Structure 1
Amino acid sequence: MCLVSAVFSQAKETFLVVTELSPPNQTLVNGKVNGIVTESVRGLFDAAKLTPDIRMYPWARAYKVASEIKNTFIYSLARTKEREDEFYWIAPVGKFYMGFITLSERLDISVETLEQAKRYKIAMQRNDFSTQTLLKYGFEVVLTSDIQKSYDLLLAKKVDLIVDDPLYMQQMSDYLGLKKGHLNFIYKIDELTVDAYLAANKQTDPHLIKALQAAFMSVKQAKELPYKK
């Protein structure tokens, strides 16, 4: 069966796509998953003539589902050396610039090197690339199921630090109804600057992978076309 006919026969099916809450990229409004990256992902599926069933889970669950169930997709997944052979990497959808975040009132906390941060209590998410990286560097962390749980622990002063992107910190702050300046991004971790992808379970039908990759290239070329000379 050729690629076109294979995709056509599957076009009326829906394919599970999992993600986590991470404003502004992934938001939940009236039970529907929205957000900047979500709309890009929907656009790719539409261009590939495929129908996504996008569901939002705590990150640990989303990662587990995408790791275990064939024909399942996940975003925004950090592409790391350790994960390279665990997923099909379809298309980049963003970039993470991660670092330590604390409460602005915590003037007793100072981080000028990665090593210094080890003296503080840190909440991080299970199966998150940043957690995996810091554990490799010898950090001891409090594990949570998703980023909102980590923020909850920070706000309750049960931990000293969490790890997130400064852009997402501001969006999460707005989502949680915090006053401006309540949180402070105090240290960028260079080791956690990485591309984020739409990826798929390793048992996913190769025709689906090719269709989505072709859709990405088509969309990318179309966006670049007006700027070509």
Structure 2
Amino acid sequence: MKYLTCSQILQHDQLSPCRKDGLILLTTRSIFLFLTLFYTVSAWAEVVHVVTTDFPPYSYERNGNAGGMATEIVEQALKKAGLDYDLKVFTWSRAYHTAVHEKNTLIFSIARSAERENLFQWVAKVAPYRIRLYKLASRDDIRIQSLQDARHYIVGGEYSDIKQAYLIKQGFEAGKNILLVAKDELNIRKLFAGRIDLIPFNEFSLPIMLNKEGHNLSELQPVLDLEEISYDLYVAFNKETPETSVQALRDAMHRLRISGQIAKIQDRYLDHRTVSLPSDVGSKPPAD
């Protein structure tokens, strides 16, 4: 390897450091590689703070360890992207608030809506999401064919959740015919206790949440599909996160998808059986 003197380096690179009384020990190529590495590491040096919620099969926390379908996908992508991270499982409202307001925060699994579009840097889809309105199978008095019918009943919702935001936009009133809680499983308990009449729930997570509460899917009956909010869930960064981190994770998610790894993880978790809506769902809501 040929080394250059200070004067030779200065002729080729006016910004190169040198000592007055000797040969420099770095070649111009070494300096270039060092600076490239320095700026790359600097861009990614900050830890990505990942937040999610207890939302089986997508994410959950058991014995201090995070798991779930989306958790596996996101962690594999972060490692493939070379991003250091920590991961915390919060209530949804806390996770959402953190992701909106704190730099370098990544949130999953989050529904992408017009209201949220400019609040985040959207990375990639991570999981399917299908919302249906459910009642107790034993409640023959509840008869629904439309959301207008559903407004005659009490619905359970969750703070900062896409489902409650949609229902309020459709004419439901918080504190009147939609009652909000911090965690969705509380609505399952309230439904079986007779304190609410209906719950909007993701069909992929509902069987797991029911089992957790000591119930099974046969005890509920779907009465209405909420197609307008049934779409894929996403991974998203806080708006102030450096673009280098965002793009690195996008690229990693893309590589996982085209390799088939995301599909393999999803197939291990998702039960693709669905519960059909009965053809004779009632035709008339109760009078006001």
TM-score by length of 1: 0.90
Instruction: Using the TM superposition, give the Cα deviation of residue 10 of structure 1 relative to its aligned residue in structure 2, in angstroms.
Output: 6.0
Q: 1:39 aligns with which of 69, 72, 78?
A: 72
Instruction: Using the TM superposition, give the Cα deviation of residue 22 of structure 1 relative to its aligned residue in structure 2, in angstroms.
Output: 1.2
Which residues of 2 match residues 213-224 of structure 1 at below 5 A? 213-223=250-260
Instruction: Using the TM superposition, give the Cα deviation of residue 58 of structure 1 relative to its aligned residue in structure 2, in angstroms.
Output: 1.1
Is residue 144 of structure 1 aligned with residue 181 of structure 2?
yes
The whole-number CA distance in structure 1 between the counterparts of 2:166 and 2:37 is 40
Deviations 1:109-161 (A, max 9, x none): 12211111000101111111121111111112111112122222222221111
Instruction: Using the TM superposition, give the Cα deviation of residue 23 of structure 1 relative to its aligned residue in structure 2, in angstroms.
Output: 1.1
Question: Residue type matched to 1:132 in 2?
Answer: A
Is residue 166 of structure 1 aligned with residue 203 of structure 2?
yes
Deviates more, 1:144-153 or 1:55-64: 144-153
Is there any run of 5+ residues in structure 1 with no aligned partner, and where?
225-229
* Cα separation, partners in 2 of 1:2 and 1:105, compared to 1, 3 Å: farther
Deviations 1:20-71 (A, max 9, x none): 1111111221121100111001011011011332211111111111111110
Q: 1:194 aligns with which of 198, 216, 231?
A: 231
Contact 1:92 1:197 in 2 (8 A): yes
Is residue 49 of structure 1 aligned with residue 82 of structure 2?
yes
Which residues of 2 match residues 58-77 of structure 1 at below 5 A? 58-77=91-110
Deviations 1:163-203 (A, max 9, x none): 11122111111222214512222211111112210001111
Question: Residue type matched to 1:135 in 2?
Answer: I
Instruction: Using the TM superposition, give the Cα deviation of residue 217 of structure 1 relative to its aligned residue in structure 2, in angstroms.
Output: 1.8
Question: Residue type matched to 1:131 in 2?
Answer: Q
User: What secondary structure, in the 3-state scheme, does the structure 2 residue paired with 1:159 have?
Assistant: coil
Which residues of 2 match residues 49-128 of structure 1 at below 5 A? 49-128=82-161
Question: Residue type matched to 2:147 in 1?
Answer: L
Residue of structure 2 equivalent to 1:227: none
Structure number having the greater strand percentage: 1
User: What secondary structure, in the 3-state scheme, does the structure 2 residue paired with 1:167 have?
Assistant: coil
Contact 1:23 1:171 in 2 (8 A): yes
RMSD: 2.1
Question: Residue type matched to 1:16 in 2?
Answer: H
Question: Residue type matched to 2:41 in 1?
Answer: F
User: What secondary structure, in the 3-state scheme, does the structure 1 residue paired with 2:215 have?
Assistant: coil
User: What secondary structure, in the 3-state scheme, does the structure 1 residue paired with 2:110 have?
Assistant: strand
Instruction: Using the TM superposition, give the Cα deviation of residue 105 of structure 1 relative to its aligned residue in structure 2, in angstroms.
Output: 1.7
* Cα separation, partners in 2 of 1:180 and 1:144, compared to 1, 3 Å: closer
Count of residues paired in the alignment:
224
Residue of structure 1 equivalent to 2:168: 135
Is there any run of 5+ residues in structure 2 with no aligned partner, and where?
1-33, 262-288
User: What secondary structure, in the 3-state scheme, does the structure 1 residue paired with 2:118 have?
Assistant: coil
Contact 1:73 1:199 in 2 (8 A): yes
* Cα separation, partners in 2 of 1:50 and 1:173, compared to 1, 3 Å: same
Question: Residue type matched to 1:36 in 2?
Answer: M
Contact 1:94 1:195 in 2 (8 A): yes
Q: 1:209 aligns with which of 246, 254, 257?
A: 246
Give the 4+ runs in structure 1 shifted more than 6 A. Answer: 1-4
Larger Rg: 2
Contact 2:95 2:107 in 1 (8 A): yes
Instruction: Using the TM superposition, give the Cα deviation of residue 6 of structure 1 relative to its aligned residue in structure 2, in angstroms.
Output: 4.7
Q: 1:178 aligns with which of 208, 215, 237?
A: 215
